[in-house]
Every structure is written in structure tokens, then in C-alpha cells.
Amino acid sequence: MKENNKAFLLISEKDKNFLKNCLKELGYQPQFCEKEIYFLEKLYASPPNLIILDLDCNSSFFETIKIIKSSPIFLEVPLIVLCSLEKLENINWEDINLDDFLVRPFKKIEFIKRLDLAKIRASRILDANPLTKLPGNTTIISKIQQLIARNQDFALGYVDLNHFKAYNDRYGFVRGDEVIKLLARIITNVISNIPGETFVGHIGGDDFVFIVPPEEAEKVAKQIIEYFDQIIPSFYDQEDRKKGIIISKDRKGNLQKFPLMTLAIAIVRNWGNYRLKHYGQAIKVITELKKWAKKDRSKSTYVMERRSSPE
Amino acid sequence: MSANEKISKEALKEKVLEKLPTLPKVVQEAWKLMERPNVSPELISEVIGKDITLTAKILRLINSPFYGFPNRIGSLKHAIILLGFNTIRGLLISSVLFGEITPPLMRIWEHACECATTAGIIARQLNYKEADEITVAGLLHDMSKVVLKVYLPEIDAKIEIVKQKSLCLDYEAEKEVMGFAHDVINLWLAEQWHFPPSLTEALAYHHTVEKAKKYPQFAAIINLADVLIHVYRLTPGMEVIPEIHPKTYEILNIFPDFLFEIIRTMDRTLYNLEWGIDERK
């Protein structure tokens, strides 16, 4: 049995023993909870490797599922729902982000096999960036092409980190990874507050991509920059932070002074009478804009094309 | 480590934040605030920054290795930005469970808020950029006293008796009963929760400022703020006032007239301390 291999269940007395036995067979330490409110508390304090919610005992936990799955801690944790056949009919999978469901009355072998599969599936995250768990190139490309094909209005943003290499060279790649995770968090949280069709992708290294409704793009870029600029000084050592520079080798091997990291954001919008025809075209425009955004790398800058406009 | 320390450290290893209470007013105000569209994380941090338990939970969460950058975040505002509103709401929902804040706990809460505000005043007066983090240190500097009251009530009762009998500081009474004081417990917890070193040192060394090797200014400011609040409020039940640590003046490079300036600002600010947000902003 894996140490600390916990499974948390929000469930009533029904089937409790059955579940306890199945979970123990799979090597989990089951911990039961009857009230939703204690459940959340425990989850944050001591994240389990499996979560099971009983729809029959509590139908108001769609909000709970949203809260749980909005945190990176639980992205890879399988969330299984138990319910009766009648309740099953009314569930809309689009609205809730869970991994699998099981219908009463349970059959032991099926139950065990399902949970096992859920565990394996959860760790097999296709195409996700291993550092940030955000979708990678394949998904990004297909998403953009989907929106273009649907002729939908959207803004595509490209976020790039300035002086990241110098930071890595000075502090090592482990701390460099921390900065990437920080940036991913900031972008994800800013975008999660935007209504409408949104998306965040991680191309790799220090390059990110986001999609938002076109009228939100400028606000999003400003906010990402505002939050990043505020928080990034904490990721430097005291002396470097005070001086506002780090000393590191440039590409030629010479010692150079580098300012604190800043962001370059380029945005193209599929809007009004300016229509993108293909993913490749979008990237071409963004690449051009990026050059402008990187003109002054001592400041975080965003650049938007000005050809599109609302009709 | 003494035998007493070993035993208590084991007892406190269990999930300490779970059973600590939260001010219902703070939860209400924060929840209401988060319903406003485009509300700023700064405003939310002002409300939540009045509750010891919520602040500690938020900082513990964002510094958890799961988020990928432990020991980095000491500012409540930054923590809220990085956790996202959904997670904050989740923490608010589950925080209402654990008992009420009794009058003795309420005194600790009030002292914490006033110390946080004062520490912020001192930090800004000295032009420190990390005023946010220093404010958090002020809020949490007595968090272990809350832990003692809730988790080790028998020991806490003994400490109270010693305090009444000998008319001494909390710090001294704790040492007499347990062999160590709340600042040591602070250190264990801050390390367990991966708090950034600046915050950890402030929590652990605000009574023993000479021990703060990396961030002496943080510890010194909390030391100063703590004393000034005791002087200013002459807290009932605390007729004994701690002294400003001798190193504090040196570390902060200040002179006594600086203190007058601070107390004047405290006068203006603390008078208006409300449990919600400052609507004038």
C-alpha cells in the first residue's frame, strides 16, 4: 500500500462498507466525510489521490466540483461521482468537470476496474506541458483552426518572457521553472475571470498563448503585465532585487547586466472586417508584432494590431 | 531540542490550521466583496488580512509545493492573485466551521490587526518596498498563541495562571511552563508551511531579533510594532510591556523621534480600524 495514498469520499452511510473494501483492495486509505463543508477544508489541507462524491446524498456539489477542479492540485486527481440511474439522466457533462461516474447498484469487479482505469487515465495527460499541465501545440493549433473555421470573433495573445535565459543562468533551472509556473498561474487566473470563449496554452519554455473575446484582449494583457511586474521581484535574491539587475553571461559569454524579467505580449484579433484565414497567418502576424513588443525589453509591453475593429 | 519541545512539536504536527476559527464578519465582507465585478485582489486582501486563520491558510496553500514555487510568496495580495477567486471562495466556504472566536481569542485577533497596521506604517515610513509582507508578519506574529489556546488548552491554562501570578510577559510565562515560547512554535509552523524566509524570520525572531540572520529588518519591525501596540493600547491583562529589543534601533537605523512620528500616524489610523474595508478609498 502506497504511503499516504488517500481517497476522500463525500458520502452517506449507504454503501460505505462496500466502498471501504474496494478502495482498500486498490491500495487506498479511504477517508469518509458526511458534510460537504468539512470536505473542502480537508481537501486543501491534505490533498488525496482520489475523490469520490455521492450524488445521491448531496445534489448541490456541482459548485464544489468547480472549486476543486479549478486548482492545479486536483487536475490530476480522479474525481468520480456515484449516483442512481434516475439522477444520471439529468446530468449535463459539459457543465461539470469530472472524470468518471458509477451507477447504483454497484458491482464489485466493475467498481474496482473503473477506479483503476481512472487512476491510469489521470496520469496519462496527452499533449499537456509537463511543467504547467497546460495544453500544448497540438491542442493550440486545433483550437485556433476551430475558431477560424467557425468564423468566430476572438483575440489571440502570445506571451513571451524577456531576460529569462539570464535568470536561468544566474539562478539555475529549478528556479527558472518556478517562474514559468508563476507566469502560467497568472495568465490562467486572469483569463478565468473573463466571460465567453477563452483558452490558455503553453507552447513550451517561456512561451504562452491565450484566447479571449476580442473586446477583452487589451484589459487581459494589461492585467497580466500588472500582476507579473508586481510579483516577479520576489523571485530574485535580496541584493539583486534591490539593485534591479542581475549579472549574468550573455550569448557571447561576456558578463552583462540584465534588468528584472519583463513580459512581451503580442495580440491579433479576428474581429469585424479583419478575418484570419489560417493558423499560419495568425502566427505570422503575431511574430511581427512580437518584434515591436520586444523593442524595449526593460519594460513589460503589449502590442495589438490595429487593423481589426468591431463592426 | 528539549523533551517538552519534542512532544509538543509532534502534537502540533497534526493539521493545525484545520480547527482554528475565523471571524464571521471577515468571511461575510470578503464574500460580498467578491461578488462585485472586477474587484481588485488588493481590496480583498485588505478584508481577509484582518483574519489570522484565513491569512495563514492562504499563505500555506500558495506556498505548498503543489503550486510549484514554495517559499516565495509572503504577500497576501500576491497570494490571492495566484490562487484565483474560485479557490479563495472555496477557502471562505469551509472556514465558517470551527467554533467562534471567544473573548480571549478576540483579544489576540485585535492585537494582530493593530500590529499588522502598525508594522505597515513603520515599513512605509522607512520606505521598504515589502510593506505588504511586513504587514502579514505583523498579523501572524502571535498565531501560535491561537494554536496553543485551541489545541493545548490545559497548557494554555497553566500559562495564564503563571502570567497572573508573576505579572510577566506571555513569552516568559510560556517559557516557564513549556520550556519554550510561541515564537518557536511559529518557526516550526512557518517551516512546515514553506513560508518565505523573510516571513519565517519575522515570526520566529520578533522577540530574539539578534537571531534573524537573513532578514533582520523584518524581525526588527515586528518587534517594534508589537511593543508600540502594547504601549498604545495598554492591553488589559497585559500590564507588563515588552521592551524594544536593543538591536532594533541599530537594524532599522532609527532614533527615538521616529517613534513619535509612528505613534502619531498610529493615532490617526488605528482610530478608524474597521473590520471591513476603508470605504473612503
What is the mean pLDDT of the segment spanning A107-125?
A: 81
Residue B189 lies in a domain: yes
- DSSP assignments along A130-190, one per residue: TTT--B-HHHHHHHHHHHHHTT--EEEEEEEEETHHHHHHHH-HHHHHHHHHHHHHHHHHH
Q: Per residue in B116-142, pLDDT tens? A: 999 999 999 999 989 999 999 999 999
**Residues B148, B53: one domain?**
no
Contact B64 A70 (CB under 8 A): no
Provide, as residue numbers in chain B, all residues whose Cβ is less than 8 Å from the Cβ of A47.
Answer: 66
ipTM of the complex in this document: 0.88
Indicate the number of domains in chain B: 2
3-class secondary structure for chain B? Answer: CCHHHHHHHHHHHCCCCCCCCCCHHHHHHHHHHHCCCCCCHHHHHHHHCCCHHHHHHHHHHHCCHHHCCCCCCCCHHHHHHHHCHHHHHHHHHHHCCCCCCCHHHHHHHHHHHHHHHHHHHHHHHCCCCCHHHHHHHHHHCCHHHHHHHHHCHHHHHHHHHHHHHHCCCHHHHHHHHHCCCHHHHHHHHHHHCCCCHHHHHHHHHCCCHHHCCCCHHHHHHHHHHHHHHHHHHCCCCCCCCCCCCHHHHHHHCCCHHHHHHHHHHHHHHHHCCCCCCCCCC
B1: pLDDT confidence band, cut at 50, 70 and 90?
Answer: low
Option in A39, A131, A189 nearest B82 (CB): A189
Q: Does A188 touch chain B (CB under 8 A)?
A: yes
Among the residue ranges A123-127, A161-165, A192-196, A238-242, the one predicted with the least confidence is A123-127
Q: How much is the average pLDDT of B251-266?
A: 87
Tell which CATH architecture fits domain A5-127. 3-Layer(aba) Sandwich (3.40)
pLDDT, one tens digit per residue, over B66-86 is: 899 999 999 999 999 999 999
> Which residues lie below 8 Å from residue B79, measured CB to CB, with a gap of 6+?
B45, B58, B59, B61, B62, B73
Asked if residue B174 has pLDDT above 70, the reply is yes
Portions of chain A given CATH number 3.30.70.270: 137-304
Please judge whether B96 and A37 are an interchain contact, meaning their C-beta atoms are less than 8 angstroms apart. yes
- With a cut of 60, say whether residue B94 has pLDDT above it: yes
Residue extent(s) of CATH 3.40.50.2300 domains in chain A: 5-127
Would you state the CATH architecture of domain A137-304? 2-Layer Sandwich (3.30)
Q: What percent of chain A has pLDDT over 70?
A: 94
pLDDT beyond 70 at A238 = yes
Within-domain flag for B3: no
Alpha-helical runs (H) found in chain A: 16-25, 36-45, 62-69, 85-89, 108-123, 137-149, 164-171, 173-192, 217-231, 238-243, 279-293
Looking at residue B173, which CATH number applies to its domain? Answer: 1.10.3210.10
Torsion, Cα of A69, A71, A72, A75 (10° steps)? -10
Confirm if B215 and B202 have CB atoms less than 8 A apart. Answer: yes
* Pair (B129, B253) in one structural domain: yes
Per-residue pLDDT for B280 more than 70?
A: no
Q: How confident is the model at residue B18 (pLDDT cuts 50, 70, 90)?
A: confident
B162 and B261 both lie in a single domain = yes
- Residue B239 binned pLDDT confidence (cut-offs 50, 70, 90): low
Let me know if residue B221 belongs to a domain: yes
Same domain, B135 and B274: yes
Distance from CA of A86 to the nearest CA of B (A): 29
Residue at a domain's end among B73, B95, B117: B95
B2 located within any domain: no
**What is the predicted pLDDT for the residue at A65?**
81
**Backbone torsions φ then ψ of A213, nearest 5 degrees:** -60, 145
Helix (H, G, I), strand (E, B) or coil at A41: helix
Report which residue type is found at A197: E
Size of interface A-B (CB pairs under 8 A): 95
Tell me what the pLDDT averaged over chain B comes to: 88
Q: How confident is the model at residue A127 (pLDDT cuts 50, 70, 90)?
A: low
State chain A's mean pLDDT as an integer: 87
Q: Are residues B173 and B148 in the same domain?
A: yes
Pick the residue of B15, B93, B132 with the most A CBs within 10 A to test the interface with A by mutation: B93
Q: Is the pLDDT of residue B91 over 80?
A: yes
**B131/B231 same-domain check:** yes
Q: Which of A41, A45, A227 sits opposite B97 (nearest CB)?
A: A41
Taking a C-beta distance cutoff of 8 angstroms, is the pair A160, A295 a contact? no
Residues B204, B163 within the same domain: yes
Determine, for residues A178 and B66 on separate chains, whether the beta-carbon distance falls below 8 Å: no
Q: What is the per-residue pLDDT across A261-295, written as a single tens digit (0 to 9) for each?
A: 999 999 999 998 889 999 999 999 999 999 999 99
Chain-chain contact of A234 with B61 (C-beta, under 8 angstroms) = no
Measure the CA–CA gap between B217 and B133, rounded to whole angstroms. Answer: 12
* CA proximity to B42, closest of B97, B79, B12, B96: B79
Specify whether B137 is located in the same domain as B238: yes
Q: Is residue B72 part of a domain?
A: yes
Q: For testing the chain B interface, which of A40, A191, A241 should be mutated: the one with the most B CBs within 10 Å?
A: A40
Asked if B174 and B209 sit in the same domain, the reply is yes
The answer to whether residue B64 is domain-embedded is yes
Whether residues B42 and B132 fall in one domain = no
Quickly state the pLDDT bin for A2 (edges 50, 70, 90). very low
- CB of B66 within 8 Å of a chain A CB? The answer is yes
CA distance A230 to chain B (A): 8
**Interface contact A178-B91, CB threshold 8 A:** no
Q: Determine the residue of chain B that is closest to A41 in CA distance.
A: B94
Write down which residue in B34, B64, B95 finishes a domain: B95
Q: What is the mean pLDDT of residues A135-161?
A: 93
For A196-227, what is each residue's pLDDT tens digit?
Answer: 999 999 998 999 999 999 999 999 999 999 99
Considering the domain architecture, whether residues B81 and B133 belong to the same structural domain is answered as no
Whole domain around residue B23: which residue ranges? Answer: 14-95
Return the pLDDT at B236: 61
Q: Which of B59, B72, B85 to mutate to test the interface with A (most CBs of A within 10 A)?
A: B72
Closest-CA residue of chain A to B133: A234
What global pTM score does this model have?
0.82
B17 touches chain A (CB under 8 A): yes
pLDDT band at B27 (very low <50, low <70, confident <90, very high): very high
Chain A contact for B96, CB < 8 A? yes
pLDDT in tens, A26-56: 888 888 887 777 777 888 877 888 888 888 7
Residue that terminates a domain, selected from B43, B68, B95: B95
Statement to judge: residues B90 and B108 lie in one domain: no
